[in-house]
Structure 1
Amino acid sequence: MAAHTPRTTAAPEGPGRTPGLRERKKQQTRYALIQAAHVLFLRQGFARTTVDEIASAVDVSQRTFFRYFANKDEVALAVMAVAEDYFMECLRHRPAEETPLQALRASIVKAWHDLGSEEAAGPGSIHSALELMRMIEETPPLLAAHLRRVNEQERLVVRVLAEREGLDPAEDLRPAVLAAVFGGLLRLAHLSWSAEHEPAGPEGMVAVIERHFDQLGPALAGHWHDRA
């Protein structure tokens, strides 16, 4: 995943220094732009929303907007970036005794649970990500940008898995293969949830993801039908 500008999120905070006043103001402006863009995109559509409208909603200039985001795609996908970044943090801290697949599954479930809690609200929450998912699938330019981000995250997952297992991903293909399978499984789960519309909310998405994980072993190993 590409590096991101520090953002205010609804994710649980980790250890670190307390940001200064100037940094907090910058985080607040970024957060406000994400929130305004998210509301406008859902209300009137991605294509019909302009950068000027987003900036005006926060009472800042277009120039200020472009200090934080390169374009509309980036501000829209900032909602997803919060969840992606938190997932990666969860993965980095999974117990060493877990298998790579167990660590991936536990990390994505933890991220959805934590960011979907009642305390997590606003553009950094899973609730906002769920709202955004359907819009992404219905907006070709946004979908293309999202898939590029997915590819970036997949490469990061490969590196984290390789470091975790003490492997060289250039020599050992297992991290890349598992990251590709994991990414495909998540996309399939997201599409399934978007199409079904039920069960709703973060818990519903977790249930869909878990259901897909349950089928991973049977899909990859053994025959798909009974044999005598």
Structure 2
Amino acid sequence: MDEEPGLRARRRAQTRHDIAAAAAALFARQGVAQVTAAQIADAAGVSLRTFYRYFDTKEQAVAPVLEIGAARWQELLASADGEARAAISAAIDEVLTVDGPDAAEQMLGIRPLLRALTDDTELRAVWHRVNHDSEELICGIIAEHEGWASDRLRARLLAVAATDAIRIGLEEWAASEAGTTGAGSPAQLARLAFDVLAPR
């Protein structure tokens, strides 16, 4: 008997997550250039054929990790009350504020990937695609939230400010030795960037 569609979708999502987590861990330990797709597949407990059903390249395998709470970020904006700028500031705080050791470990695990962007053009392309896709989704959410259906430019500018604030905050944090909370943390830097890019 075939699996229910919901169960299949959950299993596919779990497999995708497992591959992404394995890729991120290997990249962090060995460096992107030293890791092969076959090693990632082996670490994730899947065949190489299965790996390529989910991702075209080893760099693309870390896209789910680099999304860094994008789904939660979009959900917060879509359900927010009040004006969009305030909702974006609140969402930055909620998504990037690290609460507890597990969250800190997860954030610190992303740091080597972000540092590798400088030297790996394919990984950098994945990062830019992740950010572009998020920007497009946020633009639609903002346009609907603010009633700006006929003013896409205005919605897009705010979406760009929001997305770039998070991107820049994470990149600057990764290049430093700052911790995951307090001064120099991803949340603090992203809030600062958003205030500069979208002043009140």
Aligned CA-pair RMSD:
2.7
List aligned pairs for 1:62-211, cutoff 5 A.
Answer: 62-95=48-81, 97=82, 99-113=83-97, 116-118=98-100, 120=102, 125-169=106-150, 171-198=151-178, 200-203=179-182, 204-211=185-192
* Runs of at least 4 residues off by over 6 Å: none
CA distance in 2, matches of 1:30, 1:159: 26
Matched to 2:131, the amino acid is V
Unmatched segments (≥5 aa) in structure 2: 1-5
Q: Deviations over 1:15-57 (max 9, x none)?
A: xxxx53x555444433322221111111111122111111112
Q: For 1:77 and 1:42, how far apart are their aligned partners in 2?
A: 14
Distance 1:30 1:122, change over 3 A: farther
Higher relative contact order, chain-length normalized (CA < 8 Å, sep 6+): 1
Q: Which runs of 5+ in 1 are unaligned?
A: 1-18, 222-228
Q: Is the 8 A contact 2:19 2:40 kept in 1?
A: yes
Q: Output the CA distance in 2 between the equivalents of 1:133 and 1:202.
A: 18
Identity of aligned residues (%): 28
TM-score (structure 2 length as normaliser): 0.81
Kept after mapping to 1: 8 A contact 2:148/2:154 = no
TM-score by length of 1: 0.72
Q: Which has the higher helix share?
A: 2
Aligned length: 193
In 1, Cα distance between the equivalents of 2:152 and 2:47?
49
Cα 1:54–1:214 change in 2 (3 A) is same
Bigger Cα Rg: 1
- Contact 1:55-1:62 within 8 A present in 2 as well: yes
Is contact 2:26–2:40 with CA below 8 Å preserved after alignment? Answer: yes
